[in-house]
Structure 1
Amino acid sequence: MCDLEPFKIDLKALREGENLLRFALDDSFFEAIEAPEIHQGKLRVDLSVRRVASSFELDFHIEGYVHIPCDKCLDDMEQPILTDNRLVVKFGEETTEDDELVVVSEDEGVLDVSWFIYEFISLNIPIKHVHAPGNCNPAMVKMLEEYTATRSSEEEETVDPRWEALRKLKNKEKE
């Protein structure tokens, strides 16, 4: 199991200027944060934290791949990930999150970036993810083709009579 402690950044302890952090993510990371959609992957996260007084700019560079199911054949596929994201963090009364602004309680002063990293990875996955042509599971593709062929032939047999009447009118116009 992955230890998520390194992802908790003590902002008060960071020096002024740029601070560089690096994380290596694997399957245990996704297991530890109980990721709902991604369970496997291998990624590298380079995090630059630029501190100016009580304001922090976090620049994330994430590179690697995750395993996700193919929408067509349901076999796992390797999805490359390459993303750059930014967060602005400030100290405040209580911890809150907005789109790009995160306010961290000044008393605590700790920011856990593990879930932000997961979200950046998740948002980088295309909505439709399928294997490259020819790489899908052949047995599943064959079954899918058979099912869709059977289904479309059944649909042709049961045509609404109103559509049939329109088809006849259309054929008469051609004559």
Structure 2
Amino acid sequence: MDLDSLRIDLKGLKTGHTKLEFNLDDSYFKFVEATQINGGKVYVSLDIEKTADNNFFLNFYETGTVNIPCDICLDPMEQIIDTKQSLEVRFGIENQENDTLLTIPENDGILDVTWFIYEFLILVIPIRHVHKLGECNPAMIHTLEEYTANRYGEENEKEIDPRWAALSKLKE
């Protein structure tokens, strides 16, 4: 993938709509040094509307899959991506950013969307990511069960704080 194509010359765009398309692959995720995503294949469609007063409205449509580690077994798993995100850009004196408005220096006029695309992908990945039932690495599941059994075995039940024991009598 040509990562230079993610640097957009906003000053060079004509007033009206411009559509750009990107196919992201593992090389993109390596380039951005993605810590939460191991790779993937994502199609990005970027619609840019330039107004007569040099405001830019960018709509990102991202679809595909990314590879992330399972929270339980740590094996890679595919996560489906399908999102739409927006960003407004205008020219100013220096770089400024808030949630949806970005100001870039007019003398530069170049907007690098590399990191914005990655952030939009991260936003749609669920907080908890686990394989479907039965798809986790069986060896890791066995190891987890083994250590969990030792940790919460009968030994710990015998060492209950007397105050908690008194409270458990209330249940009866």
- With structure 1 as the length reference, what TM-score do the two structures score? 0.91
Q: Per-residue CA shift, 1:21-75, capped at 9, x if unaligned? A: 0000011001112222212111000000011120110000000111111001111
Report the CA distance between 1:119 and its aligned residue.
0.1
Report the CA distance between 1:12 and its aligned residue.
0.7
Report the CA distance between 1:165 and its aligned residue.
3.8
Is the 1:65–1:81 contact (alpha carbons within 8 Å) kept by the matching residues of 2?
A: yes
1:65 aligns with 65
Is the 1:51–1:57 contact (alpha carbons within 8 Å) kept by the matching residues of 2?
A: yes
* Local SS of the residue matching 1:136: coil
Distance 1:118 1:14 in 2: 23
Count of aligned residue pairs for this structure pair = 170
Distance 1:70 1:4 in 2: 28
Q: Which runs of 5+ in 2 are unaligned?
A: none
Aligned-residue RMSD, C-alpha: 1.5
Write out the 4+ residue segments of structure 1 that deviate beyond 4 Å after TM superposition: none
Is the 1:67–1:78 contact (alpha carbons within 8 Å) kept by the matching residues of 2?
A: yes
Report the CA distance between 1:96 and its aligned residue.
1.4
Q: Which runs of 5+ in 1 are unaligned?
A: none
2:47 aligns with 48
2:162 aligns with 161
Amino acid corresponding to residue 146 of structure 2 in structure 1: E
Amino acid corresponding to residue 48 of structure 1 in structure 2: D
Of all paired residues, the percent bearing the same amino acid is 51
2:149 aligns with 149
Distance 1:111 1:163 in 2: 60
| Bigger shift: residues 18-27 or 93-102 | 93-102
